[in-house]
């Protein structure tokens, strides 16, 4: 399916956004990732977003931004550490293939570059792997990573940036 590009605005996320990003995360995992993982796996993975304190910790330690649609709704979000670990990137189920992830990745790469990072590393789902490969990431290893109770397959991927 071809990706259609839209124009997005961006803003930093705060603790006030936790309920919105928690719901986006949960909805995306339960619908989009269901194509590559079992119902039991996505249910377990989605439960990782239930803890508000965990979101607060992530928001305080990572650079978190949202891509907003023309009505200021969060179409997707991403986060990265100062050392180039791309912690998360989730796009709302209704905003798939509309350039949200590409726009967020560009912002993450810009952030990394301004922090002197030469390589971005991420742990990428089966579902997201083709997107990251298309954007220059290379699989370093396949692994089984614990979600909540279950271990799910994903990939450690890296990209050298300049």
Instruction: State residue 30's pLDDT score.
Output: 98
Count of CB atoms within 10 A of residue 104's CB?
Answer: 26
Q: What is the pLDDT of residues 137-162, one digit of tens each?
A: 999 999 999 999 999 999 999 999 97
Nearest in space to 120 (alpha carbons), one of 87, 155, 160, 90: 160
User: CA 115, CA 113: separation in Å to the nearest integer?
Assistant: 5
Q: What is the pLDDT of residues 92-133, one digit of tens each?
A: 999 999 999 999 999 999 999 999 999 999 999 999 999 999
Residues 18-54 have pLDDT tens digits of 999 999 999 999 999 999 999 999 999 999 999 999 9
Q: For residue 2, what pLDDT band results from cuts at 50, 70 and 90?
A: very low
> Are the C-beta atoms of 141 and 155 separated by less than 8 Å?
yes
Share of the chain above pLDDT 70, in %: 97
Q: Would you say residue 69 has pLDDT above 80?
A: yes
């Amino acid at each position: 399916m071809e990706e259609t590009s839209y124009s997005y605005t961006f803003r930093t996320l705060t603790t006030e956004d936790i309920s919105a990003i928690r719901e986006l995360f949960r909805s995306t995992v339960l619908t989009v990732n269901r194509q590559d993982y079992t119902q039991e796996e996505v249910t377990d993975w989605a439960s990782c977003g239930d803890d508000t304190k965990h979101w607060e910790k992530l928001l305080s330690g990572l650079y978190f931004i949202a891509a907003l649609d023309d009505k200021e709704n969060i179409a997707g979000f991403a986060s990265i550490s100062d050392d180039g670990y791309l912690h998360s990137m989730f796009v709302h189920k209704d905003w798939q293939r509309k350039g949200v992830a590409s726009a967020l990745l560009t912002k993450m790469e810009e952030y990394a570059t301004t922090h002197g990072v030469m390589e971005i590393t991420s742990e990428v789902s089966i579902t997201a792997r083709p997107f990251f490969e298309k954007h220059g990431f290379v699989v370093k290893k396949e692994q089984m990573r614990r979600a909540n109770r279950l271990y799910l397959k994903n990939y450690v991927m890296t990209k050298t940036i300049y």
